[in-house]
Chains A and B, each alone.
Chain A
Amino acid sequence: MNTNTTNASAGKSPYVIEMRGITKIFPGIIANDDITLQLKKGEIHALLGENGAGKSTLMSVLFGLYQPEKGEIYKNGEKVTINDPNDANALGIGMVHQHFKLVDVFTVLDNIILGVEPTKYGFLTKKEAREKVLRLSKTYGLNVDPDALVEDITVGMQQRTEILKMLYRENEILIFDEPTAVLTPQEITELMGIMKGLAKEGKSILFISHKLNEIMEVADRCTVLRKGKYIGTVDIADTDIERLSEMMVGREVHFTVDKDESKPGDVVLEVKDLTVKGHSHKKNAVNGVSLKVRKGEIVCVAGIDGNGQSEFISAITGLTKCEEGSVITLNGEDVTKKSIRYKNTHGMSHIPEDRHKHGLVLDYSLEQNLVLQRYFEKEFSHGGFIRFDKIRDYADVLIAEYDIRSGQGPVTPARSMSGGNQQKAIIARELDRPHDLLIAVQPTRGLDVGAIESIHKQIVSSRDAGAGVLLVSLELDEVMNLSDRILVMYEGEITGEFDPKKTTVQELGLYMAGAKRQNGRGEADGK
């Protein structure tokens, strides 16, 4: 090893980090209840649990963001107190966050040394830093150009930059918070290789995930949390996906979606030549996309994040404007220039990508959020006055039907609900509204398998009830499981259409990465 870590007391304890009996209480909820986590040196240790199981809280305790009510943390057998992230860094604990903390307009090298810039007489001395970064990237196979601007490199490379950041700071304990959410299948394979390499070089890795197959592939051991409680730690070699998921959810989970063959009916949504300008005006974010969604089918737009899916959906729903020449038809009626309210009240339901930005008014209560598009309807208002009793009744029905859990029922502030239940509230609201077209953008993002299972069921039943579903997802499992037809979007264009039964994840991955393109879908690939 070429890093000169001061690791004197190793050997005292088999565990490089040990969290014993951690209890963390928030008002009304015990986020961590007597949890023990033991991380061996050089192992990849997965931390598995549903949303709200307490994974993030536990990691925040380890990172010094929260102080536990009870419990102790040991490093190499010695008791330590971690009061803030600086303490954690000093102890060699580093974290790759789900959303990268990089400065887009800085180079990779600048980002890596940010905060620990080597200086001489107050001037930056980047030469040594550069050599160190190159050495590290060679040792661990982290292929990235130190002089490239972060905004110009792929998400996978950005993640590698984050990893290099930890290595540059000579961290020995690396926390990966759901690292695969933003990657293509190929990039995921690569990341798995990198993680294994890091472990082999003696780094200890905590891998937070709820993707079971990744845990099975890469982890040595796995600690499972459920509803704030410690369920157990298992050796991956002795277990399988079914058992892990049962530990996580507390019951059996069905991974495949049970659904009948789709029976496509009339066209409910037709998009012709939809074009949306890009932010930088260099390129169109969406370039002349046409598609049809029929009643009773689930059409999925697959692709890597940032290939125009968000802009495409925003234009259809009316959140952003599309260019002249684009035509959007809903139930045979041209709605290109119609307002969002018009579309909302004429059969369009929309589960938005960003539940905090668009989906909810976080300062409103759950019941107020459940009528966000309907508060003005006769059912809920009279002469301009809101009928609070009717809203309460309606909210009670939805809460029961969709199993939305919250601290104070209908009057709970949306902000204080867990992410999964916030999403359930949005889904309840959108599915319960009369709709012919359901637009769902990453409806299960950040949710656990139990919640995903129920949301998938609800989407399928919406289809079976005769709605057309336009699904945008970055999760290939979801794409393959749920859709009746798959369209791949790459750089603002549809580059391929697939039948999920006749294609593979690998094949889709090639189209998503732009390596392949179907004939008749724009220009053929020049290579």
Chain B
Amino acid sequence: MENKKTFGEKCAAFVRKDGVRSVIASLISILGGIAVGFIVLLLLAAFDSDVTFSQALKGILIVIKGPFSSGSADNMLFQIGNMLFEAAPLVMTGLSVAIAFKTGLFNIGAPGQYLMGAMGALVVALSLPTDTIPSWIVWILALLAGTLLGAVWGAIPGFFKAHFNVNEVIVCIMTNWIAANVVSWVFLDTDFINTPETKINFIKKTSSNGVATAKLGLDKIFEGSYMDISLIIASLVAIALYIMMNKTTFGYELKACGFNRNASKYAGMNEKRNILISMSIAGALAACGAALWVLNGSQDFKWNTYMSLPAEGFNGIPAALLASNNPIGVIFSSLFLKFLNKGGANLSAQTPFNEYVSQLIVAVIIYFSGFSKLFRDMLAKKLKGNEKRDGDSLKAKGGKKE
């Protein structure tokens, strides 16, 4: 900034914009994650005689190239198609977490809402007769059923938070495990489960009833992948949420409530209702993500979920954080996370590093992405420091403010 004043000042003004600062902070955290991931690989190379340092370097390049490190062009298109498809549920859970954050709530209940959404969608998609009802109507009904169930599930922590001021994190965690058990219990000994000869732990694919998300030829472009229009749907939802939060009176209320509950109450907003609605929307979003995933038609849903919660729900948290809770940003952060995911898969396929190492590397990068707020604050501080040093020029320009 010292040597080139005009250019430097322009840069500073650009960086000072909140949005730009968020993006830079996210990039820094991603780079930090990659650096630490590389260190992990180097350490492994140092202590494991099977692995060389050049393999470590090759390894980290594979991870950061994502699906582009897949070897052949066909394989690359296949991986990109799957990446785009798998990003859709993550966009939805990311939005779920982001919207709750904007209202001052931490929705760690996305995994439970996700499970309820998957259950609702599956039950409707597999039980409604497609010979009498057109399958696209069944598809819509299934999507709605899943979404609605998630909204109800999300409303539970919202209700306790609004009316009894019970911390939503606690209720969310409890509803997660309740959902895990409810889903297992509902599917236990039902016809929804695959026949014993095939995969006993999984629910039938919805395509067995002729229900599947429209593909619009996308699966042809990305040959062999699961690609369908779900990412387009998720992106439209993200845009709608962006508009809702930033352009409507409802969004104004929700954010006011998130920033300062007392002031929104003083202003006559119904802050209890807002908390409830915000959590319901969050629940609906996470559940809708699950519904999009199972309704693809080719996905296996593991029904005895009582032992574990779906990672997609939790991964919504880094997706939201990496995007600084901006709904549009969530689309890109989710794509990025899935991009890394593919890189991780290629790492274990192409180098001696096993799949656990590749997941570890991806986890490290995701973990660092959680620091984006820290980096954002550090960036803000750094800028302030610069401004202080530029105090004299400020004084000369008469930039004094009340």
Contact = CB atoms under 8 A, between A and B. Distances in A.
Interface in B364-391: 384, 387-388, 391
Counting chain A residues whose Cβ lies within 8 A of the other chain, the interface size class is 35 or more
A23 B395 CA distance: 12
B127 interface: no
Interface residues of B, number: 29
Contact of B391 (A69, A345, A358, A405): A69
B260 interface: yes
B356 interface: no
Given A339-B268, A344-B268, A384-B249, A30 B395 contact: yes
B391 A361 contact: no
B259 to A, nearest CB: 4
A418 B249 contact: no
Interface in B248-282: 248-250, 252-253, 255-256, 259-260, 262-270
Contact of B401 (A29, A319, A357, A361): A29
Given A30-B391, A386-B247, A368 B262 contact: no
Contact of B260 (A25, A29, A363): A363
B399 interface: yes
B259 A361 contact: yes
Given A375-B252, A384-B249, A386-B249, A28 B399 contact: yes
Given A27-B387, A363-B259, A385 B402 contact: no
Q: Is the interface of B mostly helix, strand, loop or mixed?
A: helix
Contacts of B255: 364
B17 interface: no
Contact of A384 (B250, B384, B395): B250
Contact of A376 (B249, B265, B266, B402): B249
B5 interface: no
Contact of B263 (A29, A341, A357): A357
B393 to A, nearest CB: 11
Contact of B266 (A52, A339, A358, A368): A358
Contacts of A26: 388
B221 interface: no
Contacts of B137: none
B400 A30 contact: yes
Contacts of B395: 25, 30
Nearest to A403: B402
A362 interface: yes
B402 A52 contact: yes
B249 A340 contact: no
B394 interface: yes
Contacts of A29: 400-402
B265 A340 contact: yes
B137 to A, nearest CB: 29
Given A25-B391, A29-B401, A30-B400, A362 B249 contact: no
Contact of B247 (A27, A30, A319, A385): A385
Among B264, B266, B387, the most chain A Cβ lie within 10 Å of the Cβ of B266
Contacts of B259: 361-364
B389 to A, nearest CB: 9
A522 B84 CA distance: 75
A13 interface: no
B167 to A, nearest CB: 20
Contacts of A358: 262-263, 265-266
Contacts of A375: 249, 252-253
Going nearest first, the 8 A-B pairs with the smallest beta carbon separation are: A341-B268, A405-B402, A25-B391, A358-B266, A340-B268, A363-B259, A372-B267, A407-B401
14 contacts: A26-B388, A28-B400, A29-B402, A30-B391, A30-B400, A339-B270, A341-B268, A358-B265, A358-B266, A361-B264, A372-B256, A381-B249, A385-B248, A406-B401
